[in-house]
Amino acid sequence: MKKTILLAAAAAVCSSVAFAGADAVAKCGDNEIRLYAAPLSYEVLKGGKTLVEKTQIGVCLDGKCLAKDARVASVASKTLSGTVEPPCGKKASVDLAGFETLADFGDFAVRLVARNDGVAYRIELKKAGVVKCEKADVTIPKAARCWFNRTPRSSLGCEETVPEFADASALRTDKGKAFYLPLAYTVEGKTVAVTESGLNDYPALYFGDVEQGERGARLSSLFAKYPKATTRVGGWGKEKGLKTGGRWVRVTETEDFIAKAAAPRALPWRTFILADSPSKLCEADIVYALAEPAAPGADFSWVRPGKVAWDWWNAFDNKGTEKGCTTEGYKRFIDFAAKSGVEYVIFDEGWSEALNIWKYSPRVDVPYLIEYGRKKGVGIILWMAWAQMYGEEERVAEHFAKLGAVGFKVDFMDRADAEVTAFLERCAAACARHRLLVDYHGVYRPVGLHRKYPNIVNYEGIHGLEQMKWAPAGKDMAHNDVAAFFLRLTAGQMDYTPGAMDNYPIGAYKGTGRNPGSVGTRCHQMALMALYEAPLQMLSDSPTKYEKNMECFSFMAATPVTWDATVGLGGCPETFAAAARKAKDGSWYAAAITNRDARDFELKTCFLGEGEWKAEIFRDAATADAEPAKYVHETKTVNAGDALKLHMASGGGFVVKFSK
């Protein structure tokens, strides 16, 4: 049975009018998702242009394929409204407006949502059972240009590779690799980013095999199987079979299914950000808007975003572990943070002995340092591998909260199965009860959990600046940085860890593990502070180097980490990235970075409010191609709508602060 529903008040903007034989539709403005039965399938359109070709979907519960011969029993629709104010993020408020359609198939349902920034669907189960598999494929039109990352299929959950580009017609199956999200492409002048939202005890979505067809490239969904047996691993591939602690919890045997459903439940949202240009992807909120909200009455007013002085990347002020990871060494970091207005210091690996968080290193007096930091107004965040916390989330959170720590950097999950997803929520919940921040490192991209638990202030899932500690001389990080803005950052906040003061030309990198640097210009690094969203933003370099470069450091340290507005200003993954963000005090920051190609950019200031503004500019010097650390610091007076002409060197960038 097919039903057509018209809502008179909203039909012109958002509606569920059935088109072209569709059984259910959700439409908001130009954005539209259509659902079909027998076979169960969907397609996505924007402005009448097909951006996702008709693709079959489904789920197998307790051995039964629920999508087989499915027929619609009823269709119901409603408009969505309201706003939510994130405690920290890229906007002061997120608009929840849109249109929702629920297609009931009897044994299950499919919910469609259309918003002004994209569309989504999810399958909802009506009974408990074991989810053997979910078919969540996507078919990319043949004419599309694609931007994506891939990871080994044996390492689902480890998402730290360099972005790739290819035409949809050139995509091929690689049995050794899988595509991970967000995956973006452009077709017919429109841009799509495939993401997901609302994981709950369910594996993250990947794409494996590629089938080229007449209408496009179909990417087959791929999920990690549910763990049947695991083992703890201590060091790098050593000390397997530990009873407690360690670095990883490795899967040694899997079940023949991907998730359990102890009760009726919804599967994750399969989301599609839709934009008129790649630069507008950064403005989308669909991942956050569709995620589960915090519990009614939950208080997260204590969550305090900020900057972090970080030890590991700069080898403990470039001294190395034994010389730098000491009580005196950490006092140096705390004193530097207090003096420069940096809110936090991270104690990375080394503060505990042999990956045992219950035994401090004899070189580091952790209780003393936490109290020392507290007296100076600097919070201490403790690093730990997840194996040291797994199964003891409440005990760990309670103990270190009483000790005075303000949060954890939890690392080395490196898995994407349902067990890890459940751990991430348990850990965040335990930390929330004890008012602790959480930075998830060694983890897949964000999927909206930070809406339910705003104490999750960052995620890794990125080929970040840490890669420069072991990078070869020919490393081209600028390529990665530009593409990451349109890919990884589209999913949410990103623990890239910018701020290097030693800057090298592309192809001439000379950094080392103890003395790392960046590829590209100084202004490229400074621009990342405003360009990349990170409520907990690490300043990666050493106090010693920052003290020698205070003009740049002071600007970076003062750059906000939460914003009231975000506006995309241009570019695409293959060229450059540019955006403007409005700070809480009414000032604006505009930043841009380029790949290895130098380019001129006209910064149009239409985003500014009326009147006269002071523009404080950091831009590449004329010699920055050969001397990347060279920059120009200047101020100008501009009026809203004026254009600033700025040149970016190879691997370069700029950042401008506009204040009244």
Three-class DSSP labels, 442-496: CCCCCCCHHHHCCCEEEECCCCCHHHHHCCCCCCCHHHHHHHHHHCHHHHCCCCC
Domain boundaries, the chain: 14-220+259-290, 306-561, 589-659
What is the pLDDT confidence band of residue 395, given thresholds at 50, 70 and 90? very high
Identity of the amino acid at 551: E
Higher pLDDT, 95 or 19: 95
CATH superfamily, domain at 306-561: Aldolase class I (3.20.20.70)
Q: What pLDDT score does 642 carry?
A: 96
* pLDDT over 90 (residue 68): no
In DSSP terms, 46 is beta-bridged to 31, 49
* pLDDT over 60 (residue 133): yes
Q: Output the CA torsion sign for 237, 243, 247, 250.
A: positive
Ramachandran assignment for 315, one of left (phi > 0), alpha (psi -120 to 50 degrees), beta (any other): left
pLDDT in tens, 531-559: 999 999 999 999 999 999 999 999 999 99
Residues 638 and 107: their CA atoms lie apart, in Å, by: 62
Least confident of 167-181, 237-251, 372-386, 387-401: 237-251
Q: Which of 74, 139, 479, 453 is nearest to 300 (CA)?
A: 453
Q: Output the CA torsion sign for 238, 239, 242, 244.
A: negative
* pLDDT over 80 (residue 241): no
Tokens at residue 122, please? 């999810």
User: Active-site residue numbers?
Assistant: 411, 466
Residues 112 and 99: their CA atoms lie apart, in Å, by: 8
Question: Beta strands of 30-82 (E only): which ranges?
Answer: 31-36, 41-46, 49-61, 64-65, 74-80
Q: What pLDDT score does 235 carry?
A: 78
What is the pLDDT confidence band of residue 295, given thresholds at 50, 70 and 90? very high
pLDDT in tens, 310-320: 999 999 999 99
* pLDDT over 50 (residue 9): no
Q: What pLDDT score does 7 carry?
A: 30
Identity of the amino acid at 147: W
129-139 mean pLDDT: 97
Cβ atoms of residues 409 and 346 within 8 Å: yes
* pLDDT over 90 (residue 5): no
425-448 mean pLDDT: 98
Q: What pLDDT score does 16 carry?
A: 52
Largest CA distance in the chain: 74
Bridge pairing between strands 240-242 and 24-28: unpaired
Q: What pLDDT score does 10 carry?
A: 36
What is the third-level CATH fold of 14-220+259-290? Beta-galactosidase; Chain A, domain 5 (2.70.98)
Cβ atoms of residues 568 and 281 within 8 Å: yes
How confident is the prediction for the chain on average, in pLDDT?
95
CATH superfamily, domain at 589-659: Golgi alpha-mannosidase II (2.60.40.1180)
pLDDT in tens, 493-529: 999 999 999 999 999 999 999 999 999 999 999 999 9
Residues 129 and 287: their CA atoms lie apart, in Å, by: 27
Cβ atoms of residues 453 and 430 within 8 Å: no
* pLDDT over 80 (residue 15): no
Q: What is the pTM of this model?
A: 0.95
Least confident of 241-250, 324-333, 395-404: 241-250
370: phi then psi, degrees, rounded to nearest 5 = -60, -45
pLDDT in tens, 336-366: 999 999 999 999 999 999 889 999 999 999 9
Percent of the chain with pLDDT over 90: 93
Least confident of 6-10, 317-321, 412-416, 644-648: 6-10
* pLDDT over 60 (residue 2): no
48-67 mean pLDDT: 95
